[in-house]
Structure formats: structure tokens, C-alpha cells
Structure 1
Amino acid sequence: MTKQYDVVIIGAGPAGMTAALYASRANLSVVMLDRGIYGGQMNNTADIENFPGFKSVLGPDLSKDMYESSTQFGAEYAYGSVESIRDDGATKLVKTDMGDEFEAKVVIIGTGSEYKKLGVPGEEDFSGRGVSYCAVCDGAFFKGTDVVVVGGGDSAIEEGLYLTQLASKVTVIHRRDQLRAQKIIQDRAFANPKMEFVWNSNVTEVVGEGKVTGVKVNNNQTGEDSFIEAAGIFIYVGVKPMTAAFADLGILDEQGWIPTDDHMHTKVPGILAVGDVRKKDLRQITTAVGDGGVAGQQAYEYIQALND
């Protein structure tokens, strides 16, 4: 049986939950679909120190508070990984791997993104205990320590420069003999006395006892192995959007991100996108919440226009 709603929100992270709050408060029927527990990546963050109103808050606690807020006006929550969206013009049909079907006038995509992994021993074991994919999120925990940045693109070097404000030393490990970052960013990095570079090298293992103590490195030219001591490992080998289920809609760019206008609308009327899945520069809880608020209001205005 197909369940009918005004709005289906795919993803119950901070963007999706905020969209649910705004849309349901406008008296729209709303369901959030997620393949796991509400909160998304916030559940994997021990301490959040850059969300307004909190000096520090546990990620799971903030997730719970947001969920309770997002459902207070009647928004529902259901488990399921979305397999497809069919655009039927005035309505959209959303199908999940649970065999459920949802029909709605508006679909808001908030499935987020995930950091590409190195895939080496110790990376998963020490995630959140020294292994990080976000210097802005976690850099403050490594004040006065030596850290490692893995990667050579814009993100890696920009985040490395950010970390020099906090860490004693930042060692950049790159698999090639030159950086891929823009020249102006490279010039800043090479001029920074706190930054060191290890070229033609790959991290082969993250090492630690309870928390990270360093990384094993292999020189891909000489074959020589070495060990670099570090309290934190920041990995920047790419980010990928979780958008495979939406490939047939024609709303993705060549990298799989979803471009939108300032009102969160995609190329397809009635389909919006919010949070980390969007093509944008800063992916934080604060920006996700902003996207969600805009999308929730836009859902109401779009449906009002349909009814006129």
C-alpha cells in the first residue's frame, strides 16, 4: 500500500530534521526516511563545540534533542533506504528497500556525504580517537600536539593550514611528488614553518593504543618504510555524496553532487536537496540546519502554489 504525505524527507540528519520541523509546523504531513538512527554523522561525534547555544554538546545528545524538536508538530519517522524516486509531475513516488512506497507532492533529499577512506589497518579502529576527516570539527582537540594530514588537494592543504593554528607541527603525507592544491594555497603552506611534507608516500597503517600514536608510511618510489609519530590523523582523500539512488532523475552533477538554487530547489520541480549532499563549500551542522529551514518553508510555498 502506498502511503501518502505532503512531504517525504530522505535522510534524518540535521538538515532533514530541520526541514521536517519547518514543514510540519506549517501543517504539512511529513515523514522522514532514514536507513539508520536519526542524527546522521552527529552520532559519530563525541563533542560538538561549534553549534550555537552550546559550549560543548555530545553528538548523540544533540541528535536526540533535534529529533524531539523535529517531530513535535507531527512529523513521522520511518526506517528504510531509498532505492528510487519516480517523478510523476505533481506527485513523486519514493520506494525503499523495505518494500514501502510513499507518495508526496514534495521530496527533500538530505542523504549527506561520506568521506573516502584510506582502507588501511587501524583507520576504522581509531575513528574518533585520533582519526578525523574534519579539521574544523576536531582540530581543537589536538592543541599543542603533532598531527598528520593525508592528501594533497585543496581540502588537505587548507585544513592543514587551519591546523597550524592549533597543532605544534603538521606533517602532510602525499602519494605524489607535488601537491594538487591551487598554487596560492601551496605557497602559503610552503611558507608556513609549522608544515612539513613527506612526498611519494602512502600511509599503510594507523597505529595506537587506545588512541592514535602515529602512522606507518611507505615510500612508493624507494620502498622504504617509516613511522611518523602523531596524536591526530586528518584524512583528505576525497568526499563522495550518497546519491546513487537518484542518478535517473537528472539532478546530479558529474561528481554526483546535487546543485540547487538558493531556495534548495533542484532541476526537477518539487524535488529539493539540503545539507551535505548539496554542491557547496562548507559542510557543517550549522549550514545543514540553515538549508533545512529554507527547504521546509519552500515545501510549504511550493504546495500552496500547486493548490492555487
Structure 2
Amino acid sequence: MLAWADYIIVTSDSVSMLSDAGTTGKPVYVVNLEGASPRFDHFHKHFVELGVSRPAGYTAAIYAARSNLNPIQILGLQPGGQLTITTEVENYPGFADPIQGPWLMEQMKAQAENVGTKTINDLVAEVDFTTKPFKAKLDSGDEITADSIIISTGAKARWLGLPSEEKFMNMGVSACATCDGFFFRNKKVAVIGGGNSAVEEALYLANICEKVTLVHRRDELRAEKIMQERLFNNPEIEILWDNTVDEILGVEVGKGDIPGVTGLRTKNTKTDELTEIKLDGVFIAIGHDPSTALFKDKLEMDSEGYLITAPDSTATSIPGVFAAGDVKDKIYRQAVTAAGMGCMAALEADKYIATLEANSSQTEAAE
């Protein structure tokens, strides 16, 4: 089945397709706003968003729908992205009291659908940016064509892989100090890692927590020298060299009054000596992996796999293809910054499609 529209918005972890788009073999305009006429009928109507529907994707969909671009959003395996596994959110503007991450994503999804976005539960198996319109083939076998595509597939934090890590997720274990550090005011925490991310997390937490212990498996850090100097000069931070995490200690749900992390057991990489540290939180900072495998050799990326966009823009190396959120942002990684980039991407896609329309009109006039 083939569906056409202005935008395809694809959000993290997947790309999917519409099963009820129309009669097999007949192209259809997907999700026209009620009472609105399709944009330039002689073009394939499609804006597709590829990825896990997170703040970037939902915001892009909202703006695209309000511009009558008939967006289709492919939700993927984990609709809502990392916020769906986050409990309380206190730093998203507009809410005086803490809100739940999954609830926030549900509200964004509902808003996007209410203004005209069509959401699809499927995975994107393949994309083709060499044809116009662009093509996205879904795991179901369906195919979507689009004049513009926004990618918001996000990035995933790397984890240690310990059972206790998953057991205490959101109960003392986190991968984002900026997101969750506030909950550990005047408490003791550990940061795991030795690169820039780990040092940045430790420095940030040192302004909030009573004590920060940086646990690193080697005897020197990989972080930039200036970052190391700041770390070494901070009296609130202690470094535990040549140690790996053996186990995250804590009280499990149903086995105590207050479930959560109570400590950390580390293992010396040279002596195998075990050490237990009493603390309240563990921040894993061993890096992130952008979800960009689908776009390898198709779009320009940096050495870490993040999509490269033009300065002050969400435009990728292919005209008409845009990227928003953590798939291109390895610095801030915040819901609010991702939402802002989603807005930018939709506005830029709108201008791109308008240019296509204008050029087509000029060509027809010349003929």
C-alpha cells in the first residue's frame, strides 16, 4: 500500500506505516485538516517523521499539522522516547508541580493528533533519499512517500548491563544529572565514567549534592584537560581510580519501607578488592549512542554517528531531510531543547515544501 502526504515525521527506534490509508493501488492524501485543501495537489503529499515519538517529534508534528502539511508520524518501538521511562519531571516549563514523563508524552501525542497528525505503529526498515519524493519502507511491507522528512530517532544512554542497574532505575539510578540531580539535593551520589560526560555530570552534581564520588576503571581520565582541572580542584568530588561497578546496592520494592539505592560495591581492576560505598544515587555517564544506523551512508554524520546539520538549522546533508533532538544534539539532551528543535525542523520543512511548490508553479507557467 502506498500513502502520500506532505511530511513524514519519524521518531526514535522506528519507522512505521498506515494500514488504513486508502484503497490498495490508489494514492491518498493522508490526514488533511478538516476543511483544508491539500497543498499543491500535483505533489506527493507527505511529511514523514522517523523515530521514537519524543518531544522533538511531537512538536514537529504539531507545527506541521498546523501548517496544513498533513504529517504522518511513525512511532516506533518506544513511543515517547526516554521520557516514557522517566518518573517525575520538574524542569519542563508550564507545570508548577512535578509531572510524570509518560503522562507528558501522552499529552504531546494527543495534541499532535488533535491538530491533524496521523500516527502509525510500525518500524522503518529502509529509507531512500535518492528519489523525489523520498521513500520510507516499513517493517509491515508498506511504503510511504514524502516531500520532506524529519528525523527524531534520538539517542540511547549506554548502561553497565547489571541486573541491579535495571532494578533501581528511577529509584536512584539515572543517566542524566541535569534531569534528576535535583532529587539528590544534599545527598551522596556516584558518577560512573571517565570522559567529558562523566566529568560534566560530576561537576554539575557537586553544586547540588553533599558529596560526589567519580568511579573510573582506569588511572587517568579521558576528559579534556580543562575539564579535569575543574574536577580536581572541586573539594566536593572524590575520585575512585581503577574501579568498576560490581553491584548497585539498595532496597527492592516490597522489601523495605523506602525502596531505592543505598550504596555501591566496586571492584579494583588491579587487585580485585571489593569496596562498598554508602550513597543515595548512581549516575551512569559512559556515553550515548545515536539511533542513526538506518541512515548510514545516506546522511552526513560525525565520528560518533550523530547527524550533522547546517549551523543554526536542522537541515541535514540532503535537502528536504531535517533532524531534531538527541539524534543531532550531544550536548544538551533535554526535553525542552528537543521540543525547540522539533519546532525549527517543522518550520524549515514548511519553507522547503513551499519552495518546491513555487518552483513547480514557475515551471508550469514557463511551459
With the length of structure 1 as denominator, give the TM-score of the two structures: 0.97
Aligned with 2:307 (options 245, 254, 258): 258
- Per the alignment, residue 8 of structure 1 pairs with 8
Q: SS where residue 93 of structure 1 aligns? A: strand
Matches within 5 A, 1:14-29: 14-29=55-70
Aligned match of 2:138:
96
Question: What is the distance in 1 between the residues matched to 2:304 and 2:72?
Answer: 28
- Bigger drift between 135-144 and 180-189 goes to 180-189
Q: Deviations over 1:27-85 (max 9, x none)?
A: 11111102235321111111111111113221122112111211222111001121221
Q: CA contact under 8 A between 1:258 and 1:278: conserved in structure 2?
A: yes
Please show how residues 32-47 of structure 1 align to structure 2 within 5 Å. 32-36=73-77, 38-47=79-88
Could you say which residue in structure 1 is the equivalent of 2:179? 137
For residue 332 of structure 2, what is the aligned residue in structure 1?
282
C-alpha separation in 2, matches of 1:196 and 1:306: 57
- Residue 364 of structure 2 corresponds to none
Equivalent of residue 210 in structure 2, options 148, 168, 179: 168
TM-score by length of 2: 0.82
Worse-matched range after superposition: 110-119 or 248-257: 248-257
Instruction: Compute the RMSD of aligned alpha carbons.
Output: 1.2
Q: Contact 2:299–2:307 (CA<8 Å) still a contact in 1?
A: no
Distance 1:42 1:216 in 2: 28
Cα distance in 1 for partners of 2:301, 2:233 equals 38
Matches of 2:114 and 2:78, distance apart in 1 = 18
Q: What are the equivalent positions in structure 2 for 1:229-308 lying under 5 Å apart? A: 229-261=278-310, 262-308=312-358
Taking the aligned partners of 2:277 and 2:330, their CA distance within structure 1 comes to: 34
Report the CA distance between 1:142 and its aligned residue: 0.7
CA contact (8 A) 2:58 2:112 kept: yes
Matched, 1:219 2:268: yes
Which structure would you say has the larger RCO, counting Cα contacts within 8 Å and 6 or more residues apart? Answer: 1
Deviation at 1:269, TM superposition (A): 1.1
Q: CA deviation at 1:280?
A: 4.2
**Structure 2: distance between partners of 1:108 and 1:8:** 7
How far the C-alpha of 1:252 sits from its partner, in A, is: 2.1
Q: Percent identity?
A: 42
> 1:194: how far off?
1.0
**CA, structure 1 residues 298+140, in 2 after alignment: closer, same or farther (shift >3 Å)?**
same
Stretches of structure 2 that go unaligned for 5 or more consecutive residues are: 12-52, 252-258, 359-367
- Counterpart CA distance in 1 for 2:54 and 2:163 is 29
Q: Which has the higher strand share?
A: 1
User: What is the rounded CA distance, in whole Å, between the counterparts of 2:176 and 2:61 in structure 1?
Assistant: 27
Amino acid at match of 1:252: M
- C-alpha separation between the residues in 2 aligned to 1:263 and 1:185? 28
5+ residue gaps, structure 1: none
Counterpart contact for 2:249–2:261, Cα < 8 Å: yes
